[in-house]
Structure formats: C-alpha cells, structure tokens
Structure 1
Amino acid sequence: MIVSSLLDTDLYKFSMMQVVLHQYPAAQVEYRFKCRNPGINLVPYIDEIREELHALCSLHFTQAELDYLRSWRFIKSDFVDFLGLFQLNAKYVQITPSPLNNGEIEIRICGPWLHTILYEVPLLAIVNEVYFRNTQPGLDLTEGRRRLKEKIALLRDTPGYHDCRIADYGTRRRYSREWHREVAGTLHEGLATQLAGTSNVWLAWQLGLRPLGTLAHEYLQAHQALGPRLRDSQVAALEAWAKEYRGDLGIALSDVYGLTAFLRDFDMYFCKLFDGTRHDSGDPFAWGERVLAHYQANRVDPRSKILVFSDSLDIPKVMQLYKHFHGRCQLAFGVGTNLTNDVGPRPLNIVIKMVRCNGQPVAKLSDSPGKNMCEDDAYIAYLRQVFDIPVLPEAEPIG
C-alpha cells in the first residue's frame, strides 16, 4: 500500500479544503492528469494504479491524526470534525488508456470539490511509485544517497549561506514513500535549522518538522467560476482567503494569470495584508525584482515581506537566488523533485490540474506557457482578453 495515511499529502490541500467547506461546499469540479514526459507508457500499470486508488479510498483519519490537525492554530474545529467523518470515494475517479493508443493514460476526477480536493497529491505519488517499482525494480539507492549528501554539504558548508533555508516540497513526484521519508530524515539531520520544514503533513508529524504551505493554482482557478465577474476573480480569491485565515497563511500565488496581471490586482491593501508572494513560473530573478519594486511603489518595505521560490529548484539555483536577494527581503525556497526523485532514472513530470468548475472551463496562464492546461481554446482567448495577457504559445493540449 503506497499511501497509508490521509495525512500523506501537502499542507495546502487541507488549507484550501477548509475554505471549500466554509465558503464553497456545493462547488463541482473536474481535474485531469497529464504526463509531460514524451514516450512514457503507463498503460500496463493501470490495474495496479486502480488497486492503489481503492486502497487509498479505504483510509480514514485516525484519532491521533485528527488531534494533530486540531493542534494547528489556523485549523477550525468544525473542519477537523468533518475530517473525522471523511473518506475518499473511488466513484469520482476514472483511469483509462488514452484513446490515442500512445501509451498515455487518462485520469479524470469529477465530483464535489470538497470530496475530490484530496485526490491530487496521493494519486500523483501512486502513479510515480507504481511506475518506478515496475521499470526500476530493486534499484540501488546508493547513488541517490550520494547525491543527497552532496546537496546537504553544498548548502551547509559553503560560507555565507548559514541563513539560507530550504523546505521539502517533493511529495507529488517522489521516487517512493520510503525514499521520501529517508530524504526528509537525512535533510533534518544534516541541515538542522537550514531545513525550514516540509509540505508533507504526515512527514511533518512523524519527524517533528514544520508543515508548510498555503494555496495552489486550483484555488484561484476555481474562482473563475465561483467569484463575481471574471476580471475580479483573482481579487475575490485573495479576499476569500483573507476572510478565512485573518492574517494566517499569508503567501499569495502570483502566476495564475502571469505576473503583470497579478500585480495589477495585488494593490497596496494586499501588499500590506499578505506576508509575501510565491514564484512558480518564469524567470525567478526577473520575477523577484518586479515584486520588490512593486512593494516599494506601494510604500511597503520589501525587507518585511517574504519571497517564496518553488519552481524546479535545485540547490545551486537556491544559492544563486539567495545570493541575489539576500538582505533585500525575507526568503524561502521549496525544493521538490530534485530532492525526492534524484536517484538516477529520469523523474516523471506529471501533474493533475483542475480544468472545470461548476461546468465552466478554468485555466492557468502562467509565465511558463508549457505549464498551461486547458481544453477550451475559446476560453483561453477570452481569459487573455479579460486580463490583458499577451498572446504566447498556445496552451498545452491535453488530449
């Protein structure tokens, strides 16, 4: 059984789920899976993935897990009570071969947002582990351990970086659950205070680490269908978040419509209200410079704000960013696949993204066009027009 606890997911799933329970309990959504690696044949593993899905759907939160969640300052008691009754239902998930017969698989998740939001992270972890245990049986992890120790030594022992802290963001694309636990434990032991924490709630609980995370793209995408007029949907999403958390979990995600559109909406009120912003696409150096200039233009001291970098990072890139921005603002770095799936074989680049909410297409138009997923070209064009987004290469097709 690959996932043995419903806590084995990222923190932002719980923080978003609480907002859904309190503000959008009737919302209906659809998610789609995509493997961005060309030539990967996942069809032979469909039955095994389905078996793991049904095992996942047999899980309940234990009393100890609920007590742990209840100990968090920003989690409401009624949400924990709801989780005490919660169970994933496999009827909302369909896993089939692609009709193109090209080795790809289709995973569609359709149903109430409240009852499907927890699928994304464990399903991606399941696909990863099933794939690698079939294609790399008995892989010797000696090389992975060597690489991990080199990364730790580079960050820990290079002069001038003792205040540079990283977090583990690697749940979705990890090589395996056991390897993920070993990585987190090794980082904890080797980096001490230079490890800020982990996005994985189960590992945070097991290892005594700080759980980290706020919100994901799906939250802002859903507001394209849930909010007022489309042009105001990003503002509505940020205001709904602030209403729920009253100053907690204050990191805003900046790339659902690209940075220019984000900064138009992220006015002085939001600059002061939110603790910082997160980068997840485009040039991180250019992004950081523009965000810091935006804070200054809105009479906010950038040194009081956090820039969170989380896009395809490795340790050398973390160190470059730290050197460039150190002293000008507070910094945080989330490192994912490069920590939890750097063992030799090429990692899978797989995602599950929301594509519809309440029957309406939703989309992300980030600063990295290859990350975009949408099934409706007309909606993409309309979204660009509404948010005044320049025409870039077309959104990545799903079919």
Structure 2
Amino acid sequence: MIIQSLLDTDLYKFTMQQCVLHQFPAAEVEYRFKCRTPDVDLRPCIGEINEALDALCELYFTEEELDYLGKLRFIKSDYVEFLSLFHLKRKYVEVRLSDDYPCGIDVHIKGPWLHTILFEIPVLAIINEVYFRRNYPDLSEDEGLRRLDEKIGLLLSEPDNDELRISDYGTRRRFSREWQRKVISILKDRLGPMLSGTSNVLFAKEFGLIPLGTMAHEYLQACQALGPRLRDSQVFGFEQWAKEYRGDLGIALSDVYGMEPFLKDFDMYFCKLFDGARHDSGDPFLWGERMIEHWRLNKCDPHSKSLIFSDALTIPRVIELYRRFRGRVGLGFGIGTNLMNDRGPRPLNVVIKMVKCGGQPVAKISDTPEKGMCEDEGYLHYLRQVFGIRES
C-alpha cells in the first residue's frame, strides 16, 4: 500500500482546504495531470496506479492524526470535525489510457473542491512510486546515499552557515515513501537545526519537525472564478486568505500571473500584512532583489520579511542564493525533487493543476513558460490582456 495515511501530503493542502470549507464550500473544480518529462510511457503502470487509488480512497484520519492537526495553532476545531468524517471518494478521480497525452495516460479529477483538493499530492506520489518500482526494481540505495552525503557536506562546510535553513518539499515527486522517510531521518540527524522542517505532515509528526506551507497555485487560480472581478482575483485571494488566517501563514505565492502583476497587486497593505513571499518560477536572483526593493518602497524593513525559494532547487543553487541574500532578508529554501528523487535514474517532472473552477477555465501564467498550464487558449489570451501580460 503506497499511501498509508491521509497525513502523507503537503501542509498547504490542509490550510487551503480549511479556507475552502469556510469560504468556498460549494465550489466545483477540475484538475488535469501533465508529465513534462519527454519519452516517458506510463501505460504499463495504469493497473497498479488504479489499485493504489482504490486503497487511498479507503483511508480515514485516525484519532491520533486528528489530535495532531488540532494542535496546530492555525487549524480550527470545526475543520478537524469535518476531517473526522472525511475520506477521498473514488468517483472523483479517473485514470485511463489515452493517446491524447505523450505519457499515455489521462488523470482527471473532478468534483467539489472541498472533496477533491487532497487528491493531488498522493496521486502524484503514487504515479512516481509505481513508475520507479516497475522500471528500477533492484536499484541500490548506494548512489542515492552517496549523493545525499555530498549535499549534506556542502551545507555543513559552507562558511557562516548559521542562518542557512533548508526544508523538504519533495513528497509529490519522491522516489518512494520509504526513501523520503530515510532521507528526512538522515537530514535531521546530520543537519540538526539547519533542517527547518518538511511540507509532509505525516513525517513532520513522525520526526517532530515543523510542518511547512501556506498556499499553492490552485488557490489563486480558483479565485479567477470565485472572485468578483477577474482583474481583482489576486487581490481577492490574498484578502480571503487574510480573512481566514488573520495574519498567520503569511507567505504569499508570487507567480500565478508573473512578477509584474504580483507587484502591482501586492501593495503596502499586503506588504505589511504578509510575512514574506515564495518564489517558484523565473530568475530567483532577480526576483529576490525586486522583492527587497518592493518592500523598501512600501515602507517595510526587508530584515523583517522572508524570501522562500522553492523552484527546482539544488544545494549549489541554495548556497548561491544564501550568499547573495544572507543578512539582507529572512531566507528559507524548500527543496523537492533534488532531495527526494536523486538516486541515479532521471526523475519525473509531473504535475497536477487545476484547469476549471465553477465550470469556467482557470490558468497559471508563469515566469517560466513551460510551468504554465491552461486547456483553453482563448481564456489564456484574455487573461493576459486583463493583467497586461505580453505573449511570450
């Protein structure tokens, strides 16, 4: 059984689901899967994927898990009661063979947002684990451990590393559940406080780490359909988040429409209200410099704010960014695939993105063009016009 607990997912799925419960309980959504890695055939995996999904949809939260969630300062009691009855419903997710997609399978999730939001991370983890188990059944851990040791050595040998903090963001693209558990255990033992936490709630609970995360792209995408006016959808999303969390969980995602529209909307009110911003596409050095300058222009001391970097990070890139911004602003580094799926074989670059909300298209326009995703080119063109984004 690949997924053995509903806590085996990223924290921001719970923080967003709580917001959905309180503010958008009737929203209907659709998600699609995309494999960005060329020349990958997932057709032989479909039987095992569907079996794992059947098992996933039999899971409920245990009382111990609910108690853990209820002790997180930002989780509310009515949401915990909701989760006590919650399980993922199999009718909302379909995986089938399809020649319309280069990888050979179509993964379609459709239903109430409140009841589908927790599918993304475990579905991606299942696809990864089935794929690597089938294609590399006898792969030794030795190379993965050697690479991990090399990364830890770079972090520990970095001069003036007292402010250097990394975290695990790798659940969705991990080699396997057990490999993620082993990597986190090694990181905790060898890095100590340099490991600031993990986005995986199950492993945060197991290892006594801080669970990390706030919002994901789907939240701001859904606001395109749920807000009063498309041009104000990003502002609406930030306002509703502030309404839900009252200043807590204050890391804003900056790349649903690209940097320029983000800075236009992220005015002095949001600069002062939110603790920082997360980078997930485009040039991270340019982004960091612009965020620091933006805070200054909006009468905020950058030393009181945080830059969270999470876009395809490697340890050498983390060190470069740390050297650039250390002492100028708070820093955090969320490392995903390079920590949890670096054992020799090429990792899969797979995503599940929201493509519709309330029956209408939604989209992400990224500063890294290949990270954008929308099924309706007409809507994408309109969205660019509304936000004043030039065609790439």
**SS of the residue 1:352 aligns to:** strand
**Alignment check: 8 A CA contact 1:258 1:365 kept:** yes
Cross-structure match for 2:40: 40
Cα deviation for residue 360 of structure 1 reads: 0.4
TM-score by length of 2: 0.99
State the distance in 1 between where 2:188 and 2:104 align.
Answer: 37
Post-superposition, which runs of at least 4 consecutive aligned residues in structure 1 deviate over 6 A?
none
Cross-structure match for 2:57: 57
Cα deviation for residue 102 of structure 1 reads: 4.7
Cα deviation for residue 202 of structure 1 reads: 0.1
**Alignment check: 8 A CA contact 2:96 2:105 kept:** yes
Cross-structure match for 2:22: 22
Q: Report the CA distance shift for 1:115/1:101 in structure 2 as closer, same or farther (over 3 A).
A: closer
Cα deviation for residue 97 of structure 1 reads: 1.4
Cross-structure match for 2:114: 114
State the distance in 2 between where 1:299 and 1:86 align.
Answer: 44
**Alignment check: 8 A CA contact 1:220 1:233 kept:** yes
Cα deviation for residue 162 of structure 1 reads: 2.7
Cross-structure match for 1:395: none
Cross-structure match for 2:164: 164
1:299 equivalent to 2:280? Answer no
**SS of the residue 2:95 aligns to:** strand
Cα deviation for residue 101 of structure 1 reads: 7.4
Alignment of 1:169-208 (within 5 A): 169-208=169-208
Cα deviation for residue 156 of structure 1 reads: 1.2
Cα deviation for residue 161 of structure 1 reads: 1.7
Deviation by residue 1:163-188 (Cα, 9 ceiling, x = unmatched) = 20000000000000000000001000
**SS of the residue 2:163 aligns to:** coil
Counterpart amino acid of 1:296? R
Counterpart amino acid of 2:292? L
State the distance in 2 between where 1:382 and 1:245 align.
Answer: 32
Counterpart amino acid of 1:353? K
Deviation by residue 1:350-369 (Cα, 9 ceiling, x = unmatched) = 00000000000000001011
Shifted more, 101-110 versus 289-298: the winner is 101-110
Cross-structure match for 2:324: 324
Cross-structure match for 1:255: 255
Deviation by residue 1:292-340 (Cα, 9 ceiling, x = unmatched) = 1111111111111000000000111001001001111000000000000
Cross-structure match for 1:77: 77
**SS of the residue 2:162 aligns to:** coil
Cα deviation for residue 157 of structure 1 reads: 2.1
**Alignment check: 8 A CA contact 1:221 1:364 kept:** yes
1:87 equivalent to 2:64? Answer no
Alignment of 1:1-399 (within 5 A): 1-100=1-100, 102-392=102-392
C-alpha RMSD over aligned residues: 0.8
State the distance in 2 between where 1:390 and 1:157 align.
Answer: 43
State the distance in 1 between where 2:36 and 2:27 align.
Answer: 28
State the distance in 1 between where 2:372 and 2:366 align.
Answer: 7
**SS of the residue 2:196 aligns to:** strand
Counterpart amino acid of 2:346? R
State the distance in 1 between where 2:287 and 2:255 align.
Answer: 10
State the distance in 2 between where 1:41 and 1:367 align.
Answer: 28
**Alignment check: 8 A CA contact 2:30 2:357 kept:** yes
Counterpart amino acid of 1:338? N
Shifted more, 281-290 versus 101-110: the winner is 101-110
**SS of the residue 2:3 aligns to:** coil
**Alignment check: 8 A CA contact 2:124 2:351 kept:** yes
State the distance in 2 between where 1:145 and 1:370 align.
Answer: 31
Deviation by residue 1:362-393 (Cα, 9 ceiling, x = unmatched) = 0000101100111111101100000001111x
Instruction: Count residues with an aligned counterpart.
Output: 392
State the distance in 1 between where 2:330 and 2:58 align.
Answer: 42
**Alignment check: 8 A CA contact 2:35 2:103 kept:** no
Counterpart amino acid of 1:99? D
TM-score by length of 1: 0.97
State the distance in 1 between where 2:78 and 2:372 align.
Answer: 35
State the distance in 2 between where 1:78 and 1:62 align.
Answer: 16
Q: Report the CA distance shift for 1:101/1:254 in structure 2 as closer, same or farther (over 3 A).
A: closer
**Alignment check: 8 A CA contact 2:9 2:121 kept:** yes
Cα deviation for residue 153 of structure 1 reads: 1.3
**Alignment check: 8 A CA contact 1:97 1:103 kept:** no
Runs (5+) with no aligned partner, structure 1: 393-399
Q: Report the CA distance shift for 1:102/1:365 in structure 2 as closer, same or farther (over 3 A).
A: closer
**Alignment check: 8 A CA contact 1:35 1:104 kept:** no
Shifted more, 99-108 versus 167-176: the winner is 99-108
Counterpart amino acid of 2:259? L
State the distance in 1 between where 2:274 and 2:83 align.
Answer: 28
> Percent identity, aligned pairs only?
65
State the distance in 2 between where 1:102 and 1:352 align.
Answer: 15
Cα deviation for residue 104 of structure 1 reads: 2.1
Counterpart amino acid of 2:244? E
State the distance in 1 between where 2:91 and 2:245 align.
Answer: 32
State the distance in 1 between where 2:359 and 2:112 align.
Answer: 12
